Structure 1
């Protein structure tokens, strides 16, 4: 216990038993009062262990006395002796306050045949778990070579969880170099459904995250309590998360040189497995979790990364026919709704047969699109639920259309209306809003297509900026409107505050009607406040008409100049949303049921999947997938971007290699060779 090697050896030479056990009876410390001082001194000198039945080897190991451990092992002490709770000396290694001797003791015990798979029955921990907690790579390697492996703790955590939480990259690499490691081990969840990736991200350990991803770690999955995905944790706990995620995506673009008879050629390989860790299933879940975690600016930036853009391009090429089918359906709906409104309102009672036919078409197409919009709501990101403006518009106009089709443009008595005046006001309101929103939604839907997307996005961006400016200066407009309602009270346009606000907004466009407002006749005085009204009117011209309108035009023009890059990202986002919704729809259980046609189900699933390896060859300005089928070309700009990134990465790696000394290269080579030799011996 005190580390006195000479005295221990003397006692052993005199016949002391290495297996003698500490078995003080508890009544020993409840002696009579006259013996209290004597027994208290003994208690101070030799404090009882945590459990009875421990041998000197237990005590020496726990206190970290290397020479005592070596001496006892030399004298044939049992290294697998257990105390009354089942604890062996190896489980006590590392318990000392000073753990400098820990690695030596573990090596001595393992070499002497200690059981490395022993488990603490109280804490469910193993010697390997203790080595990970103490961040000892040497001890971990020693235990792994002796046969130790990952175990499940009391909270279902493994040693990989603890190594990731501690940021122990060297220990993670020791596990990854072991041939027994599997992807299931790397993605094992604890009692809180946290994977090692979650634990590494919570600790902000970037290198560990990269190592886990390279080993097959999955970015899919969320924690049990907070419902946070790995992406959520990365964006919450790592500084400049967008740059870090870019580094991860950059590492999945690799460049290789191929030699053949005509000369050397370059191939760039794109690995999409980080985006689709489950293979052919749930290929959009990682991107969807990134959308939920990132800000709008980060999202637009990351979407334009060559790896993601190539991934979305391939996915979009697979499901493009379904998108065009949606546009065709929506176009049919909009046209049928427009014709139905024209027949039912502007030609009420004149064409009953045609009106009935288009009424049925509106009900069918509008009902189908309303169901589609409802599914989109269910599958949308809860975090951005109230910001899904397009979804709200889609659901609103389809529901209004269905309501109009059900009502059938009937009068208050339930009979078909014969004229415009017979129609109820609520029907006219619904029809007016439905036709406006449907055509607007069609414009936004076309905005997802690669050819016309920029123009629709430009319109949406300009509209958004103008609304922001108007909301910012709405107080100014209201102030002028109320002032005009007082000064020009005699005019119908300013007869009440609401009419005055509408007229003031129109006047901002330049329709001042100065001569009508300030005309004066002998028999009527329409404007009593002639001096004040002219001053206020001049202020309105300067502030609202000139300054505010030019401000809105300037904001719109400046945004359009920088909209091409942002618009490209927005278009990719819309495409990603449509792809994810398509994946969710084809993943429902009804498609796999025996009642659903097998050929259609197989076709849908095949359309929703892509291969996770892509090989680009500059001489082909395109790509060739590993299966050699369906060879197509990527956009030339995207190919150039990928090649440029791979070339720059290759140059930077070359610079790093040149800066490394020869001695460091030799040491690294020795390490690789020794690891390969150990693997062969293990096999």
Structure 2
């Protein structure tokens, strides 16, 4: 998609004999006929094969997981990615095979496929030990924003419709939809104060004049206070709180994700393969004397958590201060129970003696 010109840059009159570009696009793509390398078809077939195999794998998971397949939102994203990739690469017209110029709707599908491909890469990165925590942070902040989105949308609609009523003669606010987009960008810091609110001092063009100056300035000041100061700082505070919670649970979340991935792969396989290849138990000898003699093999096929040294340290490790304190508390409770039993026996004996 990044090395192929879009259809709007192509001169349609010279499209059949030679792929030439419009004069506006010649600074980017050149003035000569567009030449495509033969390797482009190889990579096209390769990507189509990979996408087809991945779709077949998803179909197999659907057969085995059934309803659980639809409960995982990642499956929707993967299926959309592979389906869009196929739609972009399939030649629906005869001239597409020779020129590789895609249709308008194919080009839009390609843009969404590129976006989903990088999101898919982020989902794989979150299994990483060092980078996964940052992906979790983005996810937690995104969930918090979705919870807050209802309040945010109300404020956005309120100010965008007010700006539309007051500034609909300007291009940025000439429709309610574009007014919402412009108001959202103004919230992010791109206020364009001089271009929007002071342009009537330097120009008498109809699309530059501010018709209702006092009301517009008042709404703009309220917008800066509510959206840029209050809501933005509120979102930052919520994000910081979520990030601190992710830091405390990062290792547990990563381990849970690894276990979940292993279980998904395990139960996605057919039952006869699970019965044949699943390892149900494994014996590990902590006092292995042959580790030093097979150092190269142990390094090549090592498992850090199953080394004899690690196992011995786990079996003979010293108690931490917290564990020592908890054991002392248990001993004190046992001694206290013994004293209470002794006192109760003495009191019963004294009562019997008096009788």
Question: Common fold, TM-score beyond 0.5?
Answer: yes
Task: Give distance in 2, aligned partners of 1:530 and 1:439.
Answer: 45
Q: Does the residue aligned with 1:450 lie in a helix, a strand or coil?
A: coil
Unaligned runs of 5+ in 1: 1-340, 593-600, 618-629, 665-683
Q: Does the residue aligned with 1:469 lie in a helix, a strand or coil?
A: helix
> What is the number of equivalent residue pairs in this alignment?
291
Q: Does the residue aligned with 2:156 lie in a helix, a strand or coil?
A: helix
Task: Find the counterpart in structure 2 of residue 509 from structure 1.
Answer: 188
Deviation at 1:536, TM superposition (A): 0.5
Q: Does the residue aligned with 1:579 lie in a helix, a strand or coil?
A: helix
Contact residue 397 and residue 438 of structure 1 kept, 8 A: yes
Deviation at 1:614, TM superposition (A): 7.9
Unaligned runs of 5+ in 2: 8-18, 20-33, 288-300, 342-355
Pairwise mapping of residues 248-287 of structure 1 onto structure 2 (< 5 A)? Answer: none
Contact residue 345 and residue 419 of structure 1 kept, 8 A: no
Contact residue 343 and residue 351 of structure 1 kept, 8 A: no
Task: Give distance in 2, aligned partners of 1:441 and 1:546.
Answer: 34
Q: Using a 3 Å threshold, how does the CA distance of structure 1 residues 443 and 482 change in structure 2: closer, same or farther?
A: same
Pairwise mapping of residues 438-587 of structure 1 onto structure 2 (< 5 A)? Answer: 438-518=117-197, 519-521=199-201, 523-525=204-206, 526-587=209-270
Deviation at 1:634, TM superposition (A): 3.4
Deviation at 1:374, TM superposition (A): 4.2
Deviation at 1:579, TM superposition (A): 0.6
Which of these residues, 342, 354, 374, is aligned with residue 39 of structure 2?
Answer: 354
Which of these residues, 390, 394, 399, is aligned with residue 78 of structure 2?
Answer: 394
Task: Find the counterpart in structure 2 of residue 342 from structure 1.
Answer: 2
Q: Using a 3 Å threshold, how does the CA distance of structure 1 residues 417 and 510 change in structure 2: closer, same or farther?
A: farther
Q: Report 1 or 2 for greater relative contact order, CA contacts < 8 Å, sequence distance ≥ 6.
A: 2
Task: Give distance in 2, aligned partners of 1:551 and 1:465.
Answer: 11
Task: Give distance in 2, aligned partners of 1:462 and 1:365.
Answer: 33
1:365 counterpart = 2:50: yes
Q: Using a 3 Å threshold, how does the CA distance of structure 1 residues 616 and 533 change in structure 2: closer, same or farther?
A: farther
Which of these residues, 113, 117, 128, is aligned with residue 434 of structure 1?
Answer: 113
After superposition, what is the alpha-carbon deviation per residue over 1:382-409, rounded to whole angstroms, capped at 9, x for unaligned? 57944x232322222122112223x23x
Task: Give distance in 2, aligned partners of 1:418 and 1:534.
Answer: 57
Task: Give distance in 2, aligned partners of 1:642 and 1:468.
Answer: 46
After superposition, what is the alpha-carbon deviation per residue over 1:86-107, rounded to whole angstroms, capped at 9, x for unaligned? xxxxxxxxxxxxxxxxxxxxxx
Q: Does the residue aligned with 1:473 lie in a helix, a strand or coil?
A: helix
Task: Give distance in 2, aligned partners of 1:433 and 1:484.
Answer: 31
Deviation at 1:430, TM superposition (A): 1.0
Contact residue 448 and residue 574 of structure 1 kept, 8 A: yes
Contact residue 54 and residue 82 of structure 2 kept, 8 A: yes
Task: Give distance in 2, aligned partners of 1:643 and 1:616.
Answer: 20
Contact residue 88 and residue 102 of structure 2 kept, 8 A: no
Deviation at 1:508, TM superposition (A): 0.7
Task: Give distance in 1, aligned partners of 2:286 and 2:188.
Answer: 54
> Normalising to structure 2: TM-score of the pair?
0.68
After superposition, what is the alpha-carbon deviation per residue over 1:131-176, rounded to whole angstroms, capped at 9, x for unaligned? xxxxxxxxxxxxxxxxxxxxxxxxxxxxxxxxxxxxxxxxxxxxxx
Task: Give distance in 1, aligned partners of 2:134 and 2:187.
Answer: 26
Calculate the aligned-residue CA RMSD, in Å. Answer: 3.9
Deviation at 1:496, TM superposition (A): 0.7
